[in-house]
């Protein structure tokens, strides 16, 4: 039997998470359900897609991911099941699932087969329990996707923000602030290494850094670090501190890597009256 994962913006105060799990377990009491997070910011599909996109590939192929972030969706948005990269996703067609991968889906269905199921999907105020949980449980039991509803060639695809890169710079943004206040950007390691020259300056807010570290503890407590994390994304933080709060930065804050030519380095040095520093990877 396949694993079901569960991600939502339900929080921990109310009964919503337990009610969805209860519906799944009523279909199969031995079903394995793994919580990814229920602390996604309310209605924030960018936050939800980042968290789910960071971890779903760690689960075995064939896993079912129940996605209840902004679950009621917008006007006219359907409830869908999508097979993508060998995984199954059940949720609202609000764009979140479409942000998870640039690959084309293998299959998409609109949930609901009988007139009663379609009417329930149209009227329910709790689709995660009444529609998605039932569909996820059936998929986990081995029911094929085309038995859950009508196949479609369309689902809501959004394009995530990409950094702008040139020979002189990479301009990206903060796409996530984690529990520790670390700032995770959309600048990927391979982009940086492809353009890396001898010198660079990493600009974030009022701070300028000239070193990429390999681990969080390669700086003293209270100092700023920059590293490429386990996802290969540039991350900035303060060792034993909260960078988002202390630097006054957050989601969508700009982060720029300037690659310094000899001419621009000399000009910058003259302007700042500072000696030139050769940047390096720690």
Q: Which residues of 234-245 are buried (b: 16+ CB within 10 A; e: fewer)?
A: bbbbbbebebbe
The pairing of strands 107-111 and 149-151 is antiparallel
Picking from 212, 247, 208, the residue whose alpha carbon sits closest to that of residue 232 is 212
CATH 3.40.50.10790 maps onto the chain at 4-151
Beta bridge partners of 173: 254
Instruction: Please tell me the predicted confidence (pLDDT) of residue 191.
Output: 86
Instruction: Please tell me the predicted confidence (pLDDT) of residue 264.
Output: 52
Residue written as tokens 């569909």?
A: 135
- Tell me, rounded to whole angstroms, the distance of Cα 259 from its chain centroid: 28
Q: Which two tokens stand for residue 175?
A: 């796409």
4-151: CATH architecture: 3-Layer(aba) Sandwich (3.40)
CATH 2.40.30.90 maps onto the chain at 164-281
pTM value is 0.86
pLDDT digits (tens, 9 = 90+) for 233-248: 999 999 999 999 999 9
pLDDT digits (tens, 9 = 90+) for 135-169: 999 999 999 999 999 999 889 988 777 899 988 89
**HEC sequence for the chain:** CCCEEEEECCCCCCCHHHHHHHHHHHHCCCCCEEEEECCCCCCCHHHHHHHHHHHHHHCCCCCEEEEECCCCCCCCCCEEEEEECCEEEEEECCCCHHHCCCCCCCEEEEECCCHHHHHHHHHCCCHHHHHHHHHHHHHHCCCCHHHCEEECCCCCCCCCCCCEECCCEEEEEEEEECCCCCEEEEEEHHHHHHHCCCCEEEEECCEEECEEECCHHHCCCCCEEEEECCCCEEEEEECCECHHHHHCCCCCCEEEEEECCHHHHHHHHHHHCCCCCCCEEC
State which residues of the chain have pLDDT below 50. Answer: 271-272, 274-281
Fold of 164-281: Elongation Factor Tu (Ef-tu); domain 3 (2.40.30)
């Amino acid at each position: 039997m396949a694993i079901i994962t569960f991600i939502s913006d339900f929080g921990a105060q109310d009964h919503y998470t337990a009610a969805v799990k209860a519906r799944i377990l009523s279909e199969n009491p031995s079903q394995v359900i793994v919580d990814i997070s229920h602390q996604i910011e309310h209605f924030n599909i960018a936050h939800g897609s980042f968290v789910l996109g960071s971890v779903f590939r760690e689960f075995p192929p064939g896993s079912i991911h129940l996605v209840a972030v902004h679950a009621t969706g917008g006007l006219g948005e359907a409830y869908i099941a999508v097979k993508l990269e060998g995984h199954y996703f059940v949720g609202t067609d609000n764009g979140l699932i479409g942000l998870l991968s640039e690959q084309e889906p293998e299959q998409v269905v609109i949930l609901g087969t009988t007139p009663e199921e379609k009417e329930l999907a149209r009227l329910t105020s709790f689709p995660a329990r009444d529609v998605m949980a039932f569909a996820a449980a059936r998929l986990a039991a081995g029911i094929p996707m085309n038995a859950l509803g009508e196949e479609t060639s369309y689902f809501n695809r959004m394009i995530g923000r990409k950094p702008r890169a040139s020979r002189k710079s990479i301009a990206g943004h903060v796409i996530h602030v984690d529990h520790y206040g670390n700032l995770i950007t959309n600048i990927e390691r391979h982009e940086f290494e492809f353009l890396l020259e001898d010198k660079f300056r990493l600009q974030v807010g009022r701070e300028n850094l000239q070193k990429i570290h390999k681990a969080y503890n390669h700086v003293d407590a209270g100092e700023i670090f920059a590293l490429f994390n386990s996802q290969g994304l540039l991350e900035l933080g303060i060792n034993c501190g909260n960078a988002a709060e202390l630097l006054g930065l957050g989601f969508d804050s700009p982060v720029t890597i300037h690659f310094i030519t000899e001419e621009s380095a000399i000009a910058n040095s003259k302007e700042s009256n500072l000696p030139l520093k050769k940047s390096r990877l720690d």
